[in-house]
């Protein structure tokens, strides 16, 4: 079927085009509200600025389609193939994108507010500047807790994306780019953020309990009041990061770089900081009880009134450390 035929049928009242082959057609600016294109072949089809509000594109093939500026508000696209398609500046607000294949898709500046992305594969997709406010990215499927449907975000690009307050527990963000992303109060419990690029990301009060952040780049990131309990930050770069009042109970920071990090009043009870570089870090009033600082570098650090009760300091470099009012490992105030 070509574009003219479809438009003619649609204008005559036909809404259902299930299994139709519309590959390589141009339907730009078309008003196709509530159209049913489920299982349709839309490969390499152009739908720029098309109006497909409340449309049904379930299981359709939209691979390499040009869908820039398309309005898919409240549409359903479950199991659709959107691989390598162009969704630049598209409206996907409230759309059901569960289990879609969005690998390598371009979603630059698109509106994904309140969209359902459960089980969608966004690996390598460009989500720069997207707003995901109220979106669903993780939940448990019908099979229950044993078979959760998780959005895949491996190597995705989320520069300056807005993910404030989202539930991102258990998701895979390996090597994802999240520069300056808004992650305020987002929940990343047990998420995989290995080698993720989180430079200057705002993680204020984010929940990173048990998350894997090993070798992640968190330079200048804001982690104030975040929860890093049992998180693994082995080899992570936290140079100049803000970790004031962060909960780090039994967090692993071995070989991490915390040069000039702000750790004022951080709760680091039982944290492992073996061979961590804390040069010029500010640990004022930090609670380091039972923490392991074996062979850590504390040169020039400020430990003013920090609590080092039962802290392991074997081989720790304490050159020029400010120890004013510090509670020493034996419980005595310096």
Q: Which residues bind another protein (CB under 8 A)?
A: 28-29, 46, 48-49, 66, 68-69, 71, 86, 88-91, 106, 108-111, 113, 128-129, 131, 133, 160, 162, 164, 180, 182, 240, 260, 280, 322-324, 332-334
Q: Which is nearer to another protein, 181 or 271 (CB)?
A: 181
- Write down the residue that tokens 């691989």 correspond to: 83
Minimum CB–partner distance for residue 304 and another protein (Å): 11
Q: Which is nearer to another protein, 78 or 88 (CB)?
A: 88
Minimum CB–partner distance for residue 131 and another protein (Å): 5
CA angle 199, 127, 143 (to 5 degrees): 105
Minimum CB–partner distance for residue 77 and another protein (Å): 18
Q: Which is nearer to another protein, 271 or 286 (CB)?
A: 286
Minimum CB–partner distance for residue 278 and another protein (Å): 15
Minimum CB–partner distance for residue 251 and another protein (Å): 24
Tokens read off for 3: 């574009």
Tokens read off for 187: 């929940």
Q: Which is nearer to another protein, 108 or 252 (CB)?
A: 108
Minimum CB–partner distance for residue 249 and another protein (Å): 28
Q: Which is nearer to another protein, 4 or 324 (CB)?
A: 324
> In 3D, which of 292, 294, 231, 297 has the Cα closest to residue 261?
297
> In 3D, which of 58, 118, 49, 134 has the Cα closest to residue 87?
49
Minimum CB–partner distance for residue 167 and another protein (Å): 18
Minimum CB–partner distance for residue 80 and another protein (Å): 20
């Amino acid at each position: 079927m070509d574009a003219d035929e479809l438009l003619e049928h649609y204008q005559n009242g036909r809404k259902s085009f299930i299994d139709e082959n519309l590959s390589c057609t141009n339907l730009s600016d078309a008003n196709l509200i509530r159209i049913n294109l489920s299982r349709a072949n839309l490969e390499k089809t152009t739908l720029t600025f098309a109006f497909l509000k409340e449309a049904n594109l379930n299981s359709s093939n939209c691979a390499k389609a040009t869908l820039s500026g398309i309005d898919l508000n409240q549409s359903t696209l479950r199991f659709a193939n959107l691989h390598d398609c162009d969704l630049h500046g598209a409206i996907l607000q409230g759309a059901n994108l569960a289990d879609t294949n969005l690998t390598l898709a371009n979603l630059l500046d698109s509106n994904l507010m309140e969209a359902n992305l459960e089980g969608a594969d966004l690996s390598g997709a460009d989500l720069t500047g997207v707003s995901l406010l109220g979106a669903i990215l993780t939940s448990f499927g019908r099979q229950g807790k044993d078979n959760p449907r998780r959005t895949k975000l491996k190597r995705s690009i989320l520069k300056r994306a807005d993910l404030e307050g989202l539930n991102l527990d258990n998701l895979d963000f390996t090597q994802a780019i999240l520069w300056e992303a808004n992650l305020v109060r987002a929940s990343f419990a047990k998420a995989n953020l290995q080698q993720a690029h989180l430079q200057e990301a705002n993680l204020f009060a984010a929940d990173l309990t048990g998350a894997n952040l090993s070798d992640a780049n968190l330079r200048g990131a804001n982690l104030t009041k975040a929860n890093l309990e049992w998180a693994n930050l082995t080899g992570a770069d936290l140079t100049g990061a803000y970790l004031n009042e962060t909960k780090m109970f039994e967090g692993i920071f071995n070989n991490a770089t915390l040069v000039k990090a702000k750790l004022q009043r951080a709760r680091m009870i039982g944290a492992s900081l073996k061979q961590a570089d804390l040069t010029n870090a500010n640990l004022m009033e930090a609670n380091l009880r039972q923490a392991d600082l074996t062979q850590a570098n504390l040169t020039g650090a400020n430990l003013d009134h920090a609590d080092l009760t039962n802290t392991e300091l074997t081989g720790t470099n304490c050159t020029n450390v400010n120890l004013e009012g510090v509670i020493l490992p034996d419980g005595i105030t310096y």
